[in-house]
Chain A
Amino acid sequence: MEGVDQGRPPGEESSTEANTRATAARLRDLELRVEELSQAQAYNRQGITIIAFSGEMDRLMAALMLATGAAAMGMRVSIFFTFWALAAVRKENNFRGKGFTDRLLTAMLPRGPEKLRLSRWNMLGLGRPFFSHVLRKRHVETLASLFLLARELGVRMVACQTAMEVMGLRREEMLEGIEFGGVATCLDAVQNSGSSLLI
């Protein structure tokens, strides 16, 4: 900073005053910037993004419980459903106009939150009805009711368009209230969140 005023004729107040003014302006800029950053940080802290990859009932229950809980805590919540998790957000089999591979995929991928298997203790499919019974008896939300609750609480739910294409799923086969997006949509949400989870 020194030496800036060397060429100036002495006596003209300008140099120090100009310096002070510049410093003050710089300080104001910095203060604004700090304010902006802390606001952005506070905004991010209030957001959570969950990437749901697994298609099992128990894992998705954990994801949806966190999501609804976060919404209750006043946070912005996004869930991205990709790959196996797409099974949870589809509602009907639609074979019309599909080729052989897509028909096969459509038939094989479980349909909706009530049709998913467990990651453990599946017991050839008996685990699911057993657990559903236990959940109801203990007054714990089932996966299907968690989905309804999530929608009611304004949880943003996005199905990965690329994974849908892989699985041969069309938009009209997905649950109501589901948005569609790709990697960029997902990363944008991740960048605007304080924490992100892959389940």
Chain B
Amino acid sequence: MPIVKVSQVVKAMACGDRLLVEANDPAFQADLEAWVRRLGHRLVEFHDGPVQRAVIEKLEAGPDGGR
């Protein structure tokens, strides 16, 4: 589950840091969008393909994303 890995890495990052993720999970885009919305971070870019690439920017935790 890429989203679990992403959450573990992002948790350790500082606000404003960006993470480049490569994944091959058909649900990755949908999951990532839901995750970003919930945690209040930003999906900077997303490229679909056999290997998906996403850039996430960590923002300050929103009202929902305390942890």
B-binding residues in A (CB < 8 A): 42, 45-46, 65, 68-69, 71-74, 141, 149, 153
Partner of B7, one of A42, A45, A65, A72: A72
Partner of A73, one of B8, B35, B63: B35
Count contacts on B: residues with CB < 8 A to the other chain: 15
Query: B3: nearest residue on chain A (CB-CB)?
Result: A72
> How many Å from the CB of A41 to the closest CB on chain B?
12
Query: A43: nearest residue on chain B (CB-CB)?
Result: B66
Interface of B, helix, strand, loop or mixed by DSSP: helix
Once bound together, how far apart are the Cα atoms of A71 and B11, in whole Å? 12
A46 pairs with B1, CB closer than 8 A: no
Query: B4: nearest residue on chain A (CB-CB)?
Result: A72
Which residues 28-49 of B sit at the A interface, judged by CB distance below 8 A?
34-35, 38-39
> How many Å from the CB of A77 to the closest CB on chain B?
11
Partner of A72, one of B35, B63, B66: B35
Partner of A149, one of B4, B34, B66, B67: B4
A74 pairs with B67, CB closer than 8 A: yes
Once bound together, how far apart are the Cα atoms of A65 and B1, in whole Å? 8
Most chain A beta-carbon contacts within 10 A, residue among B1, B35, B64, B65 = B1
A-binding residues in B (CB < 8 A): 1, 3-4, 6-8, 34-35, 38-39, 63-67
Once bound together, how far apart are the Cα atoms of A49 and B66, in whole Å? 19
B4 pairs with A46, CB closer than 8 A: no
Tell me which residues across on chain B come within 8 A of A73, comparing CB atoms: 3, 7, 34-35, 38-39
Known: A68-B1, A69-B3, A69-B4. A74 touches B39 (CB 8 A): yes
A72 pairs with B1, CB closer than 8 A: yes
A46 pairs with B7, CB closer than 8 A: no
Tell me which residues across on chain A come within 8 A of B7, comparing CB atoms: 71-74
> How many Å from the CB of A127 to the closest CB on chain B?
23
Tell me which residues across on chain B come within 8 A of A45, comparing CB atoms: 64
A-B contact pairs, 22 of them (CB 8 A): A42-B63, A42-B64, A46-B66, A65-B1, A68-B4, A69-B3, A71-B4, A71-B7, A72-B6, A72-B35, A73-B7, A73-B35, A73-B38, A73-B39, A74-B38, A74-B64, A74-B66, A74-B67, A141-B1, A149-B4, A153-B4, A153-B8
